[in-house]
Structure 1
Amino acid sequence: MASESIAPSWTSRYEDWHSRTTAHPSPSSFTPTLASLSLAVLRNTAVEPEGFTLALFDAGDDKVAIDAMGRVLLVSDPDYAGVIDLARRVAVELPETGRFRNTWVLKHAATSQPIDRLLVVVDGRLKETSVQGFVKGKTELKIPVGDIGELPDVLGEVAGLALEGRTGYSRGSGDSAIVQKVKDILSGEVSL
């Protein structure tokens, strides 16, 4: 019997952060601003070239997430701090790829893989790191970055955590108005 290839495991102490959120008690009272933004994640695919996954905001006492369905959610302080710390590590510690949107490209047999764009606020500015073809547990890069041939663990962890923002996502449903507000604050900073 031939042995099966098993993908390496993917774990994070912050896994399932999205399921631990609670609905904002007054979602219409929350206004996303660039000043309170900590992280935004956009998704580019052939079907949705300007897709949206997640935005995290530090609104003083509240840590707020807006997910792909436009739900306004309260995030626990430990989950928020953990995800943001990992995202900032990606922005500060990893080398630049030298490619458009600082993209790390995973090896796949098929082309046209989704690109997840992580926009992290560092020192008051958005820094972008993208991953093309992210799948939990898949790490081999199609194009090495310097002498790095595998997706760095911290980048894989953040990408996996960010995708929780697409939980229950159904294209064309949800609160598109709040998602558009997030895109509007980003549009002056990055190309969507």
Structure 2
Amino acid sequence: MRYNNEVFVKYRIDKDSIVFWTSDINENISAAKVLNEFLYDFSKGKKIFFHGYRLPEEYLSQIVDTKVILEKSEIINDPFNIFLRLSDAKININHFDCACESMIYYFDNKVNWTDFLATSIISQPQKYIKEGILIAYFASVDQGADYWFECSKDYKENVLILLRTLTALGCRVKQVSHLSFPYN
């Protein structure tokens, strides 16, 4: 329930991962900026892959800084999906409403682009986090209305620092025992 443009953030800590969900974070410009910076800082030293579903080409530059695009792949006869390999996650969540869904995948350096495109990581990110193949993923669903971030528990402190910062910016942060991806 929302009152006066408040932003709510829920998070859960499991034995393998830490996850948070927020809706309409763009209502708090400072919080959206902090989340953008978190995603960028988290990407340093990692391989970054981006997936956009129903993202028109003309809006790509509003979401992703085009200078960080290293490779682009489109699936033959599939005009709805776009895949990018990025040098870092220099993105702007304020424009994620341009796509139905957008996801950023964070890997260590042993996962390569071809393996990413050839696996089911896109449809089963939680499984790959538990297996230690995927470090984290960030998802924007429902045209930028909902945001989801899940990472290996090794990065728990990074997420908790973000959550404390969001609290200081006026977001209502709450730990919950059950939180599942809203569109599975």
- TM more than 0.5: no
| Bigger relative contact order (CA 8 A; separation at least 6) | 2
State the TM-score, normalized to the length of structure 1. Answer: 0.29
Counting helix residues as a fraction of each chain, which structure ranks higher?
2
Bigger Cα Rg:
1
State the TM-score, normalized to the length of structure 2. Answer: 0.30
